[in-house]
Amino acid sequence: MQTKPLVGISADRTMRGAHPSHVVGEKYITAVVDGAHALAMLLPALGEQQSPEDVLAHVDGLLFTGSYSNVEPRRYGGHASAPGTLHDPARDATTLPLMRAAIDAGIPVLAICRGFQEMNVVFGGTLHQSVHTVGGYDDHRENKEDDLDVQYGPSHALRLVQGGLLQKLAGGASEARVNSLHGQGVERLGNGLTVEAHAPDGLIEAISVANARAFALGVQWHPEWKHANDALSTAIFRAFGAACRMRMKMGSTASVHA
């Protein structure tokens, strides 16, 4: 009998030499296994070769990861990307329909960085392609020359929305400190999404799905990085794992009565 929920983790499609490959950072896997206390299953970016329904029949939750690639602007009616921008159309074709189907089906969803931006696009929102070029916003990118611990170290304060899901996970605190490693950001909020937190410059940093049947949270920062060393990161993954376990039990009950 399965004792831990199974969480699907979205993969990027990238080239390893001459070979197309599907890749997930180990930090996401570790956070699911150790932070959410779940089993991890990597989901290749196969687009239409892999229907959302087939995936959802086997998972108890989904984690949508960050990535070096950006959502293609055509997915939200944006202008053409700057030359050299990395895209992953196979991932877009996989994650965008999968995320919507999962939320509609009551499958718990945690969306991080690119996943957060995907959540906004899925619900009809738009993105700033380069936040640092937009007047009034700070530069939210990391210095890639820094050591990883510096890149992923606390970068700015996070203002938590009073009474929101994220504030509850933070134990009622009004602020937290988070890392910042992104170039894109929310421009227009998607329909049916609720803002959970802002950066000091006003940029939306966390969202949830209003009236979702299960846990559905998106965050712009990276709570998976050394998650056990940060109280809010720990709370996020514990809550996600609890929602996945609840979903697993619901599925088991349905199987017994089928």
How many separate helices (H) and strands (E) can be counted in the chain?
Answer: 7, 13
Distance CA 122, CA 238 (A): 25
What are the Cα distances from residue 171, in Å, to 162, 195, 206, 228? 11, 18, 16, 16
The pair of three-digit structure tokens given for residue 192, joined into one six-digit string? 């049916």
Distance CA 64, CA 215 (A): 13
Active site residues per annotation:
113, 222, 224
**Residue the block writes with tokens 């992953």:** 88
> If 0-12 CB within 10 Å is exposed, 13-18 middle and 19+ buried, where does residue 89 land?
middle
